Structure formats: C-alpha cells, structure tokens
Amino acid sequence: MSTATASGPPDYHRGMSAPPTTASRGPSRFVKYTFLAVEPQWRRCDPDQRAQDKREFLAACEDFAEDHLLQSFSLVGMRADAELLLVAEAENLERIHELHVVLAQSGLMKWARTPYSFLGLRKGSEYSDDLRLAPRGFRGKYVFVYPFVKSREWYGLPADERYRIMQGHIKVGREYPGVDNHTIYSFGLDDQEFVVAFDTDDPATFLDLVQRLRVTEASRYTVRDTPSFTCIAASVPRALNALDGEPIPLEVPAPVL
C-alpha cells in the first residue's frame, strides 16, 4: 500500500527528489473525526427506546453517506472514554456542520457525549509528490488515530534540513507496506497540527512501525502524539449494536385497517 504524508508522518513509499518550496493543494476536502461515548444509564433504558435511538442515528449517517464518504469504527473494549468513531469527509465545513446538527437530533445523542473531536483538511505534503487529495477511505480491519504536534524548533530549521530528516523517517516507513497512512492537516482549524491515522490488518506490524519511528531523528521534534485510539472497522449498525449488545430490529409497518 502507498502511504499519505504530512510534515510529521510522511508518505512512506514515495519521497521527492528535491525539497519543494510549497505544498500543492487541490479542491478542499475536510475530514472530521468524531469520537462518541454513551452514558451508562442509556443501556438501562427500554430496549424499544434504545432501538429507536439507534435507528435515528443510523438514518442521519445514511443520509450523509448518500453523497459523501462516511466510515464508522467501534472502540468498545479498546478505551474507557470512547466507544464509537465516525470519520466524515466533505467539500466544505457547512456539510460537516449539517451532519452533526442532524446527528444531535437523534435520541442516541441525548445520551452521548463527544470526548474527542478532530478536524482537518487534505493537503499535499512538503516531503512527497503523492498528493492524495481525493477522498480515500480506510481499507484495513484496524485504524489507529492520534493528534500530532511538532515543536517550533522543527519549523525553525531550514527547509533542506527538514527534508533531509524526513527522508530518514520515510525510509523506515517503506519497510512496512502493510500499514497505510491517512494524515490530514489541522493548522488553525483545530488544536493539533495534524490528525494522523493508519490502517492495517495487522496491529502488531503497526506497533513495530511506531516503535521503529521513535528512534528516527524526526521523532525528537515531536511535542504531542497522544491520545492514541485503537479502532475496529465496523458498519454503522454494527458499531451501534456494540454499544448495548443488542441488534437494531427492523421496523414493522403498522397493519392497514
């Protein structure tokens, strides 16, 4: 698999022959990571009410997914503070906003909170000619996500020096073709500078990659790369069902009298 890039995490499989002066960017594609957790009291609600709450949430997701990329993941059992992740991609911030307004109208969101939320933009990298500006979904069984911030010292280095350092980082990443990177830029849009996400079918390989990257020269300029989220790919219905262990029953039409 090829890997996308950012000033921190690079494109691990394609390096540029010379440092560019600017990073290219095509039409805007905003990406939103929304982590949710439901209050324990919701699981004690009537089963019919819980099913209705999930159906309303599912309907909002299906409406957005008709013409936009939307993927869901379960974190049940992975973390204590987040249980479901939605990753939505749209051409403008208004559409991201509308999705969350409609989600908030569902019964489920009356019992849910958003412990983490990351917003970013697809953008070409300073360190790779693989722009990856088009919508691109995760394909692996597992997705790993974390916010990323580099030090001001990093940005004070000459461009040629930053490029040289990142090529060493890229060289390590090329040894792990089964781990795909989906980095987006967040400068000014959110608290972090990047949202880094990797997908793979082998969590152990991802662990090995991250451990190797800790000893690269680029790593010394990392300020923050936590919290880290381990997510299991799941359809929206399956991710919702994991919240209470109950399937969403099909709605039976009322008999015509």
- At 165-192, the pLDDT tens digits run 999 988 898 899 999 999 999 999 999 9
Model confidence pLDDT, tens digit, residues 29-50 = 999 999 999 999 999 999 999 9
In a domain, 216, yes or no: yes
Handedness of CA 219, 225, 230, 235 (dihedral sign): negative
Within a domain: residue 7?
no
* Distance of alpha carbon 218 from alpha carbon 222, whole angstroms: 7
Q: Which pLDDT belongs to residue 248?
A: 83
Q: Which domain holds residue 205?
A: 30-244
For 141-173, what is each residue's pLDDT tens digit? Answer: 999 999 999 999 999 999 999 999 999 988 898
CATH number at residue 163: 3.30.70.3420
Q: Is 2 part of any domain?
A: no
pLDDT of 131: 63
- Alpha-carbon distance 247 to 25, whole Å? 43
Give pLDDT, residue 17: 41
Element (H, E) at 54: helix 47-65
- Considering the domain boundaries, does residue 253 fall inside one? no
Residue 5 counted as domain residue: no
In a domain, 152, yes or no: yes
Q: pTM to 2 decimals?
A: 0.87
Residue 18 has pLDDT above 50, yes or no: no
Rounded alpha-carbon distances, angstroms, from residue 209 to 3, 7, 9, 171: 13, 18, 12, 11
In a domain, 14, yes or no: no
In a domain, 228, yes or no: yes
pLDDT at 86: 98
Total domains in the fold of the chain: 1
